Structure 1
């Protein structure tokens, strides 16, 4: 799969034309929003005063450079886009594509899902309640007939790390491959997967994890992703994945690998 690319376009617009420039890009953005090649876009204005005009930076993330140049620019969406922004092409100071690097992350102003949930104690409560339910469940109990006493604690470490907490699971148990290996040969069925999803949500309620829509949607998104991988790796055709770190889940995002 071709890596995403980020296009940056820097404009210097005469102050008297800045309002019409913003209005034009507001209209042009409809074409970006409709383009299957466009991942996201953002137009920012420089806060510092400049005597030589207002400075703007447009950031567009494309699925690839080729998708932008050969896809969007040759599509029916490009002519109306260009009609809106064409009058300002002469004001462009830079227009280049940039390849993202691994240097990325969130600042401390945005709490991790781990912190929002209540930290290590919250995930310990969650797994204790959850496995108590599992062992009483007719559909799931057969999968855990040999459940080790420390299993719930290890899963708590895993979930804590997944949601942005300390890397205790990686340090004491291993990475993603170690967790995946736990499912080999289990032959988990789809009804069992769905029961797992339902029970862990019930356990989250009983353990007092946050119930706000933002947290729960991220929580359930990971549960759906993780349980579907578990079903695959428990099946007869599963192949061990390449060595990978524990996935890190955040608000509205997911790891860049599928298995």
Structure 2
């Protein structure tokens, strides 16, 4: 995935102009929302000094901003709204990502929310018990080694934010992908896999809240569709890459 560019624009707006400034950006934001070069945006206000605002805009790239958006039909009406505040800008620069990033402990990982190692072990044991009794999937796993369920538990645990035990003991992403080469999985088998692992999640007592299950199913759909592709005759081995890390989707964990 291409790294995006984040533009930060820092404003100092006199208190008496704050209402008009916010109204202007509310109108201008409709043009950002409609711009295909814009990923997302957010205007924040300093809590310690109410005259300071920071606008964060994530662009697909710096070029998409400067050569795309600024030369598009969306820019003139956008700029017309914010023109009165240009002189109040204290900084306007583009920033690229660094390797330093992560999620704080205030937001639990999906791994911890699910119940950790024991939960994923229960999940895979329940799942493969169902798989081996299923007429559609059993042929795919006829030569299933005894440790397979435990290895998949390590994989899922790492994917959902747990320890990197699969990478450390099994070889990481490339090793998992290679297990699907030549399997010729069908769409019907993929769909059955998705259905059975959801049933297994119920049986294993994984959380049933909407936020967790939507994130869980999102990975299951993504992962099984990759497995379907890599099992086919036209599959090309991927470049070396780490195990994917899955997190909460649009909805964070509900902790009412």
Tell me if the contact between 1:175 and 1:243 (Cα under 8 Å) persists in the aligned partners.
no
Work out whether 1:104 is the aligned partner of 2:86: no
**Aligned Cα root-mean-square deviation (Å):** 1.4
In the other structure, the counterpart of 1:208 is 205
Alpha-carbon shift at residue 23 of structure 1 (Å): 1.5
TM-score by length of structure 1 reads 0.93
Counterpart CA distance in 1 for 2:54 and 2:139 is 58
Q: Please tell me whether residue 153 in structure 1 is matched to residue 150 in structure 2.
A: yes
Task: Name the counterpart of 2:254.
Answer: none
**C-alpha separation in 2, matches of 1:222 and 1:82:** 40
Structure 1 residues 42-191: aligned runs within 5 Å: 42-49=42-49, 54-191=51-188
Structure 2: distance between partners of 1:135 and 1:6? 49
Could you say what secondary structure the match of 1:39 adopts? strand
Q: Which whole-Å deviations, capped at 9, do the CAs of 1:29-85 have from their partners, x for residues lacking one?
A: 1111121111111111112237xxx01111000011111112212222222211211
Measured against aligned partners, the alpha-carbon deviations of 1:95-142 in whole angstroms (never above 9, x if no partner) come to 111111221111111000001111111111110110011011110000
SS in 1 for 2:24: helix
Distance in 1 between residues matched to 2:111 and 2:43, nearest whole Å: 32
Structure 2 unaligned segments of length 5 or more: list them. Answer: 251-256
Q: How many residues align?
A: 250
Which residue pairs with 1:6 in the alignment? 6
1:34 alignment partner in structure 2: 34
Structure 1: give runs of 5+ residues left out of the alignment. Answer: 254-259
Q: Is 1:23 aligned to residue 51 of structure 2? A: no
**How far apart, CA to CA, are the structure 1 residues paired with 2:210 and 2:3?**
31
Deviation at 1:176, TM superposition (A): 0.1
User: Distance in 1 between the 2:30 and 2:211 partners?
Assistant: 26
CA deviation after TM superposition for structure 1 residue 251, in Å: 0.9
Partner secondary structure for residue 88 of structure 1: helix
Please, what TM-score do these two structures have when normalized by structure 2?
0.94
Report deviation, 1:3: 3.2
Q: CA deviation at 1:2?
A: 5.2
Q: How big is the shift at 1:27? A: 1.6
Cα deviation for residue 93 of structure 1 reads: 0.9
- 1:188-220: CA deviation from partner (whole Å, max 9, x where unpaired): 111111111111111111111111111111111
